[in-house]
Amino acid sequence: MATTFVFQNKAIPVYMSEQNKKAMRKLEAILNQKWETGKQALKQCLATLISIEIVGSEATLHALTEHHSLTISLY
């Protein structure tokens, strides 16, 4: 299942196996927090974010380059 998520005025596609509103709310909160207080590598990933894949309790953040892609825990 695919949906879109607006982050930093960009529409980012989010792919997940099932619709999970709790995971989407948690993802939004975590990304906003990491944008404000995260390390430089995470901020670079968020600046070049092209898609997000949620599997279970983890979100894989896909950036323009594979080197900047990261996986974060939602819980």
Pick from 65, 66, 70, 58: nearest CA to 26: 58
Of 70, 36, 72, the residue nearest 50 (C-alpha): 70
Structural domain of residue 51, as residue ranges? Answer: 2-73
The per-residue pLDDT for 57 is: 85
Hey, which bits of 1-75 come out as E strands?
2-7, 10-16, 49-55, 58-63, 70-73
Instruction: Read off the pTM.
Output: 0.85
pLDDT digits (tens, 9 = 90+) for 9-65: 899 999 988 777 788 888 889 988 888 888 888 888 888 999 999 988 889 999 998
- Give the model's pLDDT for residue 60: 93
Give how many domains the chain has, as a whole number: 1
Give the per-residue pLDDT at 21: 76
> The tokens of 31 are what?
């990304």
